[in-house]
Amino acid sequence: MRLRISLATILVILISLSCLSALQASPDRPVPKRLNREPAVSWVTLQRRYPGVFIMNGSRQTKRVALTFDDAPDPRYTPAILDTLAAYKVRATFFIIGSRAVEYPTLVKRIHKEGHDIGNHSYNHAVFSLLSESAYRKQLGQTDDVLASLVGYHPRFIRPPYGEVLPSQVAWAKLSGYVIVNWDVDSVDWRSLSSSLVLRNIRKTLQPGSIILQHAGGGSSQDLTGTVKALPELIVMLRKSGYELVTLSELLHKTASLQE
C-alpha cells in the first residue's frame, strides 16, 4: 500500500513538472486566465495610452513590414530560418528567451552576426501579467545580462510572452527606455500548422507597417516545420506585393540597442 502511494505521488510530481516545463517553453498561445491585480486593458488602449512605447505596427504610410520570430534560439528550427533569411537577403527580428540563450549561445551570436535585431522575450517565458513588479524586472534583467554578454548591446525591444503585459509594466518600460513590441499579424504557427495555413493566416491582416509574429523555436511537442517551409514563399509573396522587409529598428526608427 505504502509503495502504491509513493508511486502515485511520484507520478503526480512528474506530471506537474512536465506541465510546468511545457508551459515555460510554449510559445505565444492565448493565456487562459488573467490576474485581477490590475484591470485588463486592450492592446489598442495601451497603444493609445503609451504611444511609441507599446507598439503593434509601424507607419501605415509605407509598404514596409517586419518579420519577427519568437522563442529563439532553438537548434531544431532557428538555423533553417537563418539560412533562408540569408539566402533571400532579408533581415528580421528575433525575440530571445534568456534561458535558451544560455543553452545555445552560439546560435544567438549567429543571429546577431547575420544582421538581425535581437529583442528580449523574458527569461523562461513567464506570463508578465501574473508576476510581481520585481519578478517582472528580474525576467527582463536576467535576459538582458545574458544578451548583452553575447551580442554586445542591451536590447531595447521587449516582446512579452503571449503579448501579455500590464499597464504598470508598460509604464516602467517607458521610464527605462524600453519599447514593448507586440504584433498586428499573427501566423498562429505555434499550433504546428502547415505552411499553407501559416501563409493564409499572415495574409488575413497584412497591411503596410505590419509586424508579423512567427516562431523560431517551440516546446517539445511543437512542430514548426510549416513555418520553416512557408518562409521562402512568404518572402517572395511579400516582395511581389511591393513590400520591403525590414528589421524592427528600421520599421520603428528606433535603435535595437538601448544605449544608442
Kindly list the catalytic residues: 70, 215
* Shortest distance in whole angstroms from residue 53 CB to Zn ion: 20
Residue 164: closest CA among 14, 11, 42, 3: 42
Residue 71 binds to Zn ion (criterion: CB under 5 A): yes
Instruction: Specify the residue, 65 or 127, whose C-beta has the smaller distance to Zn ion.
Output: 127
Instruction: Specify the residue, 71 or 74, whose C-beta has the smaller distance to Zn ion.
Output: 71
Residue 28 binds to Zn ion (criterion: CB under 5 A): yes
* Shortest distance in whole angstroms from residue 72 CB to Zn ion: 9
Among 53, 57, 67, 70, binds Zn ion (CB under 5 A): 70
Residue 74 binds to Zn ion (criterion: CB under 5 A): no
3-state class (DSSP) for residue 56: coil
Quick count: other Cβ atoms within 10 Å of Cβ 38? 12
Residue 218 binds to Zn ion (criterion: CB under 5 A): no
* Shortest distance in whole angstroms from residue 82 CB to Zn ion: 18
Instruction: Specify the residue, 23 or 197, whose C-beta has the smaller distance to Zn ion.
Output: 23
Instruction: Specify the residue, 161 or 243, whose C-beta has the smaller distance to Zn ion.
Output: 161
Q: Could you tell me the sign of the dihedral formed by the alpha carbons of 192, 83, 88, 67, in that order?
A: positive
Q: What is the DSSP letter of 97?
A: P
Residue 186 binds to Zn ion (criterion: CB under 5 A): no
Residue 164 binds to Zn ion (criterion: CB under 5 A): no
Q: What is the DSSP letter of 180?
A: E
* Shortest distance in whole angstroms from residue 25 CB to Zn ion: 9
Window 134 to 153, contacts with Zn ion (CB under 5 A)? none
The answer to whether residues 34 and 40 touch, using CB atoms and an 8 Å cutoff, is: yes
Instruction: List the beta bridge partners of residue 180.
Output: 54, 158
Q: Which residues bind Zn ion (CB under 5 A)?
A: 27-28, 70-71, 161
